[in-house]
């Protein structure tokens, strides 16, 4: 997918059900992002609270049910160099197609929440070397993320992205551009496949994926759109039930029970005995 022409349009899946819906709708690649997985699994924010074990289990459940690539959030590697090694091993074993590794101080926080700090660039280079040396499959994609823009500005962020590319990162990701000018500048100065994060309500201007492709990005992701849509839909159901005494399923705002059964493979499961005995 990275080698073919065009931009890869992706969404963040926060659980297996959302991953299945997104795959059925034609999305070709998913991100198991820390914000969505922490919210869905723990009901907590993305402030370094989700553990490697919890993330690996969430990824394992997703990859067991979908056939499209799932990229896992590796956060900071969950600690020092030995933790990075374990993070790569656990997420690769869980079936992830790759992971994001970032240069924030541990414990990290969501890239669009204030108060971030970053480790020395040289330390991040060691983490990247550890990750690259540890992966068993060369097709396991290492995304190098820098959060330096919010701490030291766009020049420092671009410098770090290029440094991480030189270490061998497969994809680079400058988190948190705050203007269109910054968003456009990054692909001009980082000659590497790049990820653009279109986080709804975040600090980065939201542009169309066709515009991201024109700028030179290789991957565009809306990491929490599915989570926001889920929250809005559930809230609507609760309000309708409270105010109207029922939830109307005839206006197209809900999936039908039949659609959900097909999505979950009910016909195949209930016919298993019949197929085996025939």
Buried b (16+ CB within 10 A) or exposed e, 38-76: bbbbeeeebebebebeebbebbbbbbeebebbbbbbbbb
The HSE-up count of residue 180 (CA atoms within 13 Å, CB side) is 7
What local confidence, expressed as pLDDT, does residue 234 receive? 94
The 10s digit of each residue's pLDDT in 200-241 is: 889 999 999 999 999 999 999 999 999 999 999 999 999 989
pLDDT number for residue 247 = 86
Per-residue b or e along 201-233, where b marks 16 or more CB atoms closer than 10 Å to that residue's CB: ebbbeebebebbbebbbbbbbbbbbbbeebeee
At residue 186, the pLDDT reads 98
pLDDT score for 278: 84
Q: What's residue 111's pLDDT?
A: 67
**Predicted pLDDT at 110:** 77
Report all structural domains of the chain as residue ranges with CATH numbers, in order of start.
8-224 (3.20.20.60), 231-277 (no CATH)
> What confidence score (pLDDT) does residue 14 get?
97
Spans of the chain, pLDDT less than 50: none
């Amino acid at each position: 997918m990275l080698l073919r022409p065009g931009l890869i349009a992706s969404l963040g899946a926060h659980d297996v059900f959302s991953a299945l819906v997104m795959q059925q709708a034609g999305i070709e690649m998913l991100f198991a992002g820390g914000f969505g997985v922490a919210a869905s699994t723990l009901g907590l924010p993305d402030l370094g609270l989700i553990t490697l074990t919890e993330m690996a289990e969430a990824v394992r459940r997703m990859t067991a049910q979908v056939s499209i690539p799932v990229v896992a959030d590796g956060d900071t590697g969950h600690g020092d160099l030995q933790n990075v090694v374990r993070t790569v091993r656990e997420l690769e074993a869980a079936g992830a197609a790759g992971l994001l590794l970032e240069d924030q101080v541990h414990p990290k926080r969501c890239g669009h929440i204030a108060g971030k700090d970053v480790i020395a660039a040289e330390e991040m280079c060691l983490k990247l070397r550890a990750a690259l040396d540890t992966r068993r499959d060369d097709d396991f994609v290492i995304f190098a993320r820098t959060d330096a823009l919010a701490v030291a500005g766009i020049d420092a962020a671009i410098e770090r992205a290029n440094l991480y590319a030189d270490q061998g990162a497969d994809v680079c990701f400058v988190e948190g551009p705050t203007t269109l000018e910054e968003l456009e500048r990054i692909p001009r100065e980082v000659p590497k496949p790049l990820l653009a994060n279109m986080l709804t309500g975040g600090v980065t201007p939201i542009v169309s994926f066709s515009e991201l492709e024109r700028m030179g990005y290789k991957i565009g992701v809306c990491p929490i759109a599915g989570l926001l849509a889920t929250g809005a839909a559930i809230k609507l159901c609760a309000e309708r039930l409270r105010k109207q005494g029922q939830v109307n399923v005839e206006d197209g705002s809900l999936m039908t029970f039949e659609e959900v059964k097909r999505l979950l493979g009910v016909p195949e499961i209930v016919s298993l005995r019949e197929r085996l005995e025939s």
